[in-house]
A and B are shown apart, each in its own frame.
Chain A
Amino acid sequence: MALSDWFRIPEKFSTLMIIPVQIVMNFTAMIPFALTWYVGMTNWQPQITPFFWEAQFVGIQNFLKIPGDDLFVASLARTLLIVAVCVPVEFLLGFGQAYVLSRNFRGRQAIRVIAIVPMMMVPIVTGYVFYLMFIPTGPVSSFINLITGRTEPILFFADPNLALMTIMLADIWQWTPFIFLIFISSILALPQDPINAAYVLGASRGYTFRRVMLPMLKTPIMIALILRSIECFKVMELPWIMTQGGPGYSTFTIQMHLYESAFKYLKYGFTNAQSLTIFITMIIIGWYASKPLRGG
């Protein structure tokens, strides 16, 4: 069997193309993933037993303890709220921006780069800058006072709702460009024939958008929503830097809880059990959410 067969016969070529990803996945992800399951079923705490194989195997006991962890339940609900607010807002802003800015106009290239600049900012810097913007003497508070005539500065980080809102704003600012980038490339890549045909036949802009463009954009819409929801669920750096989860626990997200439970309280076994519970729940939700995509 000649070596060059691998490049010539479609079935073999298909196998060849999938080999690199298999190697990397198996060596760097699958072994750690198996370890995650094992550690999740032990009561490993590194300050008691330094090595994980010395820890006591407790089976599913860790999983049974999870509903009793109030902070876990509360921070999970809060993170879901953040996702439920941020993702739709980012989607509407990014999609609208992409639809309008995909037109031909002078200076379009510059505007399109400026629109994706927020995503390029390192998230920690975003956290610090948004913190400095929302402090009582920062520009946001001053601007609102200038317009409304209030004289007292607004204490954004002292009010639980306002603090959560600033974190959502920072997330929306940072990640709207991701949606924009996906849709500007998808809208520009759409075949022009059907769209032009619709215009020639006298369809209005709105009708063409609804009946011709939207069906063709179904896949990118699903992908953008799913990827963004998964990533938004992992929000951690922004609240960590801006509020440290405060005031109280009002901006404490699930990833911060997992991080503290692992690296502050050193409950490695229990943390892994919690992470796996989240993981399995997300797999099940995602399996149904991505149904329209897998059919093709």
Chain B
Amino acid sequence: MKKISTSKFLSNSILILVIIGTLLFALFPIYWTLTMSLKPAVEWAPAVTHWWPWNPSLENYLPLFFERQTLIDWGVLQGWQEAIPDTAIKSITNSLILGIGGTALSMFIGTTAAYAMSRYKAGGNFMPYLFLTFRMLPPIAIMIPIVIWISTLGLIHPALGMDSHLVMILLYGLFPMPFVIWLMRSFFEEIPKEIDEAALIDGCTPLTTFLRVILPLVKAGLAVTALFVFILNWSDFMVALIITRRLAITIPVQIGLYSTDYGFLYGIMAALGIVALIPTIAFGLLIQRYLVRGFTFGAVKG
């Protein structure tokens, strides 16, 4: 009896240690970003460490949402701060549109392909690997020809050219797709084949088996993969930097704009970084309810 309670005490203390470690490790840089966004310019890189903002203010958030001229009229901007770029509203809406559009496209084509590869062995053993190799290509190598290809298509119609939302959605659907295929394939593999066979015998067509039986079983996998793809698209810098100019710029490119000729506007960058955390954290909270234990439990017996 005593032995059990000792081991229970030990495993509980490990749990508590891991929780504290997770909190410290994960949250300290977030805390630093948050305080940085609340610090006025003189506190960004001060001579002594400011562990918390000595004069907290929301002034770093203002340039994200209000035009430069409005801020000058209000008298909240002086001197070098007049060099700040346009508001971040356009980049936030763009990031939302491109992130959601790209994720939806990627999930649709990736999940269908993963199902065909997992259940019907479409493309044999080689095809999944072929898709994985696409991620191995250094991004620069594929970006130069993609720019050539897109600029050529842009001569046909501007919506197919550089700096277009449509092209960005296509690229954001394309780049994370190997992830979708590999992750979804592993989730499909975890479901016993007997469930498919039972559904087909009970009169489902292959399509309804997929839609009504299998997809609900991999809900957790779909949620995790979608979150991951959304994060990849949301935080992409390279593709957006090369393809977008003015109309379709995203949050990471906008953050890059805050390294101005007058210096790095760390506080404003941090403020936009905090704003950019909100949609992803909301998404993360949303998928929490799909992360439940043993969701295929009891589907197959014997």
List chain A positions with a Cβ less than 8 A from chain B: 7-11, 13-15, 17-18, 20-21, 24-25, 28-29, 31-36, 39, 52, 96-97, 100-103, 105, 109, 111-126, 128-130, 132-133, 135, 137-139, 141-142, 173, 177-178, 181-182, 184-185, 188-193, 205, 219-220, 223, 226-227, 230-231, 234, 236-237, 254-255, 258-259, 262, 268, 271-272, 275-276, 278-279, 282-283, 286-287, 290, 294-296
Given contacts A121-B33, A181-B224, contact A17 B138 (CB under 8 A): no
Given contacts A184-B291, A275-B140, contact A132 B45 (CB under 8 A): yes
The contact of B235 among A97, A122, A181, by CB within 8 Å, is A122
List chain B positions with a Cβ less than 8 A from chain A: 7, 11, 14-15, 18-19, 22-23, 25-30, 32-33, 36, 44-49, 51, 105, 108-110, 112-113, 115-117, 119-120, 122-123, 125-126, 128-129, 131-142, 144-146, 148-149, 170-171, 173-174, 177, 179, 181-183, 186-187, 189-190, 205-207, 210, 220-221, 224, 227-228, 231, 234-235, 237-238, 251-252, 255-256, 264, 266, 269-270, 272-273, 276-277, 280-281, 284-285, 288, 291-297
A186 to chain B, nearest CB (A): 8
Contacts of B137 in A (CB 8 A): 33, 36, 275, 279
Return the chain B residue nearest A259 by Cβ: B140
Closest 10 CB pairs of A and B: A275-B141, A125-B273, A14-B120, A35-B145, A32-B145, A120-B280, A17-B116, A7-B207, A21-B113, A13-B206
Return the chain A residue nearest B95 by Cβ: A122
The contact of B15 among A100, A126, A237, A296, by CB within 8 Å, is A100
Contacts of A135 in B (CB 8 A): 45
List 10 additional contacts besides A25-B177, A122-B273, A191-B294; criterion CB under 8 Å. A9-B206, A20-B113, A21-B177, A25-B131, A34-B145, A36-B142, A125-B272, A139-B51, A185-B221, A279-B141
The contact of B284 among A14, A102, A120, A236, by CB within 8 Å, is A120
Contact B205 A7 (CB under 8 A): yes
A103 to B18, CA, bound (A): 12
The contact of A188 among B126, B238, B266, B291, by CB within 8 Å, is B291
Contacts of A296 in B (CB 8 A): 189
The contact of A39 among B126, B145, B276, by CB within 8 Å, is B145
Can you spell out 24 A-B residue pairs with CB atoms less than 8 angstroms apart? A17-B113, A21-B113, A25-B134, A32-B142, A32-B149, A36-B142, A96-B18, A97-B22, A112-B291, A113-B281, A120-B234, A125-B255, A125-B270, A129-B33, A138-B49, A139-B49, A173-B29, A182-B183, A188-B220, A189-B187, A189-B294, A219-B186, A234-B139, A287-B129
Contact B285 A188 (CB under 8 A): no
Given contacts A111-B22, A279-B137, contact A36 B220 (CB under 8 A): no
In this complex, the member of B220, B252, B255, B291 whose beta carbon has the largest number of chain A beta carbons within 10 angstroms is: B291
B228 to chain A, nearest CB (A): 7
A27 to chain B, nearest CB (A): 8
Contacts of B205 in A (CB 8 A): 7-8, 13
In this complex, the member of A21, A33, A132 whose beta carbon has the largest number of chain B beta carbons within 10 angstroms is: A21
The contact of B112 among A7, A20, A115, by CB within 8 Å, is A20
Return the chain B residue nearest A38 by Cβ: B145
Contacts of B173 in A (CB 8 A): 24
The contact of A275 among B138, B170, B182, B296, by CB within 8 Å, is B138
Contacts of A17 in B (CB 8 A): 112-113, 115-116, 120, 122, 210
Contact A117 B30 (CB under 8 A): yes
Contacts of A193 in B (CB 8 A): 297
Contact B179 A123 (CB under 8 A): no
